[in-house]
Amino acid sequence: MSNAVRQRHSLMFRPRSYTAFAVTPQPPIVDWLSDLDASLVRSESFFAGHHVALDLSAVNLSSNAIGQLVSNLEERNVRVLGIEGVDPARWQPGLPPVLRSDRVPRIVESPRPTEPDAPTHTPDPLPPPKQKPASLMIEEPVRSGQSVVFMEGDITIVGSVGSGAEIVAGGSIHVYGALRGRALAGATGNARARIFCHRVEAELLAIDSYYRTADEIDDSVRCRSAQAWLEGEQLQISTMN
């Protein structure tokens, strides 16, 4: 009698991509960290719940210095998912894994300082990155049940967005038509994103997780051309022209 062979489960591997903030420290690190602290004071939850990748292409750090920087960030509640822009030979156990990205590095703007005299030094300019389109252009109506997601920047729609459709952008949303569905701008935590549309009949407007449902949109702006933006924690809507 042969032994029953254990039935093996078929293993499932699926490629999956996630959106992460790539944070690019500039030398000198000490100054960069204090700038980071300043912007975290302004927007405490800026990194909350987000994946962060540490792009070290602008600095030249030893393995120990990388470890130090990672723990400095962790003290600030910034959890580093992986590091990139570093020679894999510098990697040592204990450090986050080295990520390889096919993309050219792009800087994510942190919230801008409100006081004009804040920056005391100018960071060294990065080598000019090759420009990838940071906006998505859609030239037909977005129909009910369709969902357009573009975390890398703005979405422009030349046409209407149907009731039951959904537009999610990392940047701003521009609709040259009636907006009858849901629009979620600044979905990567960009509070400066805005929503513009020719005719607002939206089911939901959201910027950086602050939202208003159709019920909360004032009748005076309804069915008119309007923009929505964030003022503190308040989503504001006003008509245009």
Q: Footprint of another protein on this chain (CB under 8 A)? A: 140-146, 159-160, 162-165, 178, 180
112/96 Cα distance (integer angstroms): 29
202/54 Cα distance (integer angstroms): 37
Q: Please, what is the minimum distance in Å from the beta carbon of residue 136 to another protein?
A: 17
41's tokens: 């004071």
Q: Give the nearer residue to another protein in terms of CB position, either 52 or 148.
A: 148
Write the DSSP assignment of 155-201 as a string of letters: EEESS-B-TT-EEEESS-EEEEEEE-SEEEESTTT-TT--EEEEEE-
Q: Give the nearer residue to another protein in terms of CB position, either 104 or 223.
A: 223
How close are the terminal C-alpha atoms of the chain, in Å?
86
Q: Please, what is the minimum distance in Å from the beta carbon of residue 163 to another protein?
A: 5
Q: Please, what is the minimum distance in Å from the beta carbon of residue 202 to another protein?
A: 14
Q: Give the nearer residue to another protein in terms of CB position, either 123 or 141.
A: 141
Q: Give the nearer residue to another protein in terms of CB position, either 96 or 181.
A: 181
Q: Please, what is the minimum distance in Å from the beta carbon of residue 132 to another protein?
A: 24
Using CA atoms, how far residue 40 sits from 35, 77, 90, 113, 134, in Å, is 9, 10, 29, 11, 25
Q: Please, what is the minimum distance in Å from the beta carbon of residue 146 to another protein?
A: 5
Q: Give the nearer residue to another protein in terms of CB position, either 39 or 146.
A: 146
H helix or E strand, kind and range, residue 53 = strand 51-55
